[in-house]
A and B are shown apart, each in its own frame.
Chain A
Amino acid sequence: MSDTLIFSMEVFLNGLMAGVLYALVALGFVLIYKASGIFNYAQGVMALFAALTLVGIMDGQVPFSHLINAALGTDIHHFGWHVPAFIGIILSMGVMVILAWIVQKVIFRHLVGQEPIILFMATIGLAYFMEGLGDIMWGSDIKKLDVGLPQGINIAIDEATYGIFGYGFFIDNLDIVATIIAALLVGVLVIFSQYTKQGRAMRAVADDHQAALSVGINLNFIWVMVWSVAGFVALVAGIMWGTKSGVQFSLSLIALKALPVLMLGGFTSIPGAIVGGLIIGVGEKMFEFLIGPMIGGATENWFAYVLALIFLVFRPQGLFGEKIIERV
């Protein structure tokens, strides 16, 4: 077998793994969009915020210490304790739920019935706000996140492929874990939305606000719940990406990576988010590998967008999205 083909296979596999991570972020978007019609640009920043909070809690940082020090002239940094990862994750989840509640109460309750594009712009504002808040609360330096996930090259795959092709594939353990977790997460979400009372209520709200209201579903509660679930997905995505490349500002840019995934898969479809993520992940890695060197490299920044753009011209609702019907 030729070298290029073997390399391509490795790139393909890595692309699949990257795609899973994109899909993970995209899932958060789809959830909120389906239930409330809000296209939440802040999802990426939520992941960053969740990861920052987790690190902050685990290290026992004092929130807003930077601000307090500057305003009062004190010098405080840490409480001096360390919290185990498991408890840290639960506490972070609590913070995300509170955040969801505030977001719903302060912002989106006042914007019910506005045009989708206004809501979209509001989430951009929210993204900016949370970016500043995260930095002020926990400081803007790059942090290491370690919740005990395995990292580094997977020896078993390396040896197995070496036996077959005479070349060991480099697959990161973390990517494998991420794939498994993403699969689990999707399973849990599907079960939640299909078989639980709250999940059904959520789908009802997504279908028709008025009808849901008239059968006695508490809209406010459902929306807080949806934002909490999105916060949970953001936390998982934040942990994965944070472990991979450190908790830093660029984490919030994964939202920009997830947007073309959504366009490709359709905004309203959970399977679409996953398939779209895989297509984009594989597509951009293969494009960079095969064609990138010819045109100057670093094509990953735009390839996904251009692919999604071309795709949308032919199918405006994405792969699995609901058909867009317009009435006058």
Chain B
Amino acid sequence: MFYREAGDFKTSYQEDNQTFPIKFDRYRYYAVLFVAFAVIPFMINDYWVNAIFLPFLIYSIAAIGLNILVGYTGQVSLGTGGFMAVGAYAVYKLMTAFPEVSILIHVVLAGGITAIVGMLFGLPSLRIKGFYLAVATLAAQFFLVWLFNRVPWFYNYSASGQISAPERTVAGIPVTGANTEAWAPYLVCLVFVTLSALIARNLTRGAVGRRWMAIRDMDIAAEIIGVNPLTAKLTAFGVSSFFVGIAGALFFAVYLGAVEVGEAFGINKSFLVLFMIIIGGLGSIFGSFAGAAFLVLLPVFLKNVLVGTLGWPTDLAAHLEFMIVGGLIITFLIAEPHGLAQLWRVAKEKLRLWPFPY
């Protein structure tokens, strides 16, 4: 009824190959972009930005990055927190060393540095597989966090051991530091999210993405049909870490402003992002967004309902959140291993036929 492709005829390969071949999808996508870029910035205040929009956007980038590695290439990584820390500290060092260069360039460079580090820690993936690899990536997590904690050069010898973002502007408007308007950091993150999603989507449906998926489905078979596991795995680690690094850089510079590495980028962060892509859907860009939105909104929702409405103590709400998240992970793995993205696909399939049975 609402969702039709009848009459949507393609007359060229280009049309057939576009990201959203169905007109309805395409317009919805434009509408979402329009609302995100042109409506929301005028409506939000500090609370909405800091509690919901910034974490959602930043975690979306991280989830897209991890999804490339776990969902598309099948290499489970538990080192996301560590790689986000690399992005954060890279952008901090760059910001303080080259104050005159734009922060946007720094964020991208931080992503590049993280990509190199990620490829370095991805090297063992050529020898180790499955959860041996998952455990091995924990080495990256612990080592990197320790490194940023213990080597004073990384935090510019500050007494507290913390790093805090100095004020930087884009086109004269402050986007980091204390004097930001609510919409400015939001727009910066939104631009990065849009670009990341676009790049990731096109990479995953192109030749590179097919190689990744071939490695995921069966690495030996992929090797036999001519996929080079070395380049496929390392590019996956590189691209994934690039996005994760950007997320870490934004997380530190734009969202938090000041971080202590063990607290902000600990092992829990790794699990959080992993949970996002499990709940959202492994191997789906939309799923990364859905998962990030879900796990950002859940604590806010629980806090409002349990603490705000029922008046329960906060620690109880926090424990309940643990139980609910854990239970959801298990439920999703059992009932719908492809996550929210699959539910969305099923819903679309239903809507295409509704109200007819077939």
Contacts and interface: CB of A to CB of B under 8 A. Distances in A.
Question: Do A and B belong to a common assembly?
Answer: yes
B142, B315, B325, most chain A CB atoms within 10 A:
B142
B226 to A, nearest CB: 15
Contacts of A118: 333, 337
Contacts of B327: 125, 129
Nearest to B134: A120
A299 B151 CA distance: 12
Contact of B139 (A125, A262, A305): A305
Contacts of A135: 315, 319, 322
B132 A305 contact: no
Given A118-B333, A125-B326, A136-B316, A299 B138 contact: no
B135 interface: yes
Interface string B308-351: 00101101100111111111111001100100000000000000
A39 B325 CA distance: 20
A184 interface: no
B212 to A, nearest CB: 16
Contact of A301 (B74, B131, B146): B146
Nearest to A130: B326
Q: Is the interface of B mostly helix, strand, loop or mixed?
A: helix
B150 A124 contact: no
A305 B329 contact: no
A259 B138 contact: yes
B221 interface: yes
Interface stretch (B25-33, B90-98, B122-130, B182-190): B122-130
Interface residues of A, number: 51
A305 B138 contact: yes
B322 A129 contact: yes
B316 A126 contact: no
Given A118-B333, A302-B142, A302-B146, A260 B124 contact: no
Given A125-B330, A131-B326, A305-B139, A312 B151 contact: no
Contacts of B337: 114, 118
A296 B334 contact: no
B220 interface: yes
A308 B138 CA distance: 11
A127 interface: yes
A306 B218 CA distance: 28
A263 B316 contact: no
Interface in A278-328: 295-299, 301-302, 305-306, 308-309, 312-313, 316, 324, 326, 328
Contacts of B278: 121
B143 interface: yes
A256 interface: yes
Nearest to A67: B316
Nearest to A111: B334
8 contacts: A66-B313, A120-B76, A121-B278, A121-B333, A128-B323, A135-B322, A296-B150, A296-B151
Closest 8 CB pairs of A and B: A129-B326, A125-B329, A132-B322, A128-B326, A132-B323, A305-B139, A296-B150, A302-B142
